[in-house]
Structure formats: structure tokens, C-alpha cells
Amino acid sequence: MDKKRILIIDDEEEFCNLVKKNIDRTGEFEVTIATNGEDGIKIARNIKPDLILLDIVMPDMDGSDVASLIKNDQSIKDTPIVFLTAIVREEEASSQASLTREYSLLAKTATVGELIACIKNNI
């Protein structure tokens, strides 16, 4: 069975490596990391991931911009996106209402079990 491809796009490299390590432990996924939106889009076009875990707040290009560019790219527009973010309070999430309606949202504080369940539910 081929492993499902996960792309993590987040400017916090240490966080990316921690998430990758936890996902890798399942043996079910192949994980690639991008530490900025521009590289993330290039990598997505190249590897055609089965799911993208995307941070919302990033310098240069935020997650909503990255998601918009992905959804407008014919080669990757159908790739599921889950926002993995530190924005966890209700009032903060409501400020990103257009994102939370269109995409799944998972707190960076989620447990490994919640993360894996979210990945499986969105692939």
C-alpha cells in the first residue's frame, strides 16, 4: 500500500519537525515540510499531496493567501487543506470565519491522536 502524502506548511520549523515525527510514527504517511507559503505551493505542485496541514499566521504570505492560490491552481485545487493553527479561541477563530467555514481547523495544541484522526477524516 502506498503511503498517503502529507505536506506541512508552517513557518515554525521546530513545530514542523515535531508534527512530522509524530505523523511518521504511524508508518502510514510520507511527510514533507515547507517553512513558507511560496515553497509550500511549489512543493504541492511537485508532490501532489493527499492533504496539506497549513498554518494561518505566517510572515510574507499567510495561510489564507496560500489556500487561495492552491484552490486556484488546477493541478492541486482538490487537495484537502486543514488549518493547523495557534488561533484556538472562539473570538480569534471568528475573525477568520471565511476560513473556518471552508476548511477544517485544528489547534496546534491538539493531541497526536486528534491530529491523526483529523488527517484520516480529511483524506
- Kindly state the helix (H) or strand (E) to which residue 120 belongs, with its residue range: helix 112-122
Give the pLDDT confidence score for residue 86 in this predicted structure. Answer: 78
How much is the pLDDT for 88? 52
Q: What is the mean pLDDT of the segment spanning 16-38?
A: 96
pLDDT at 99: 52
Neighbours of 122 (CB within 10 A): 16
Q: Can you list the positions of beta strands (E) in 10-48?
A: 29-34
Name, in order, each residue with C-beta under 8 angstroms of 69's C-beta and a sequence gap of 6 or more: 37, 41
* Amino acid found at 56: I
Q: Which segment of 30-44, 69-83, 91-105 scores lowest on mean pLDDT? A: 91-105
Rounded Cα distance between 36 and 107, Å, is 19
CATH of the domain at 56: 3.40.50.2300
Local confidence band at 102 (pLDDT 50, 70, 90 cut-offs): confident
Residue 8: domain span: 4-122
Total domains in the fold of the chain? 1
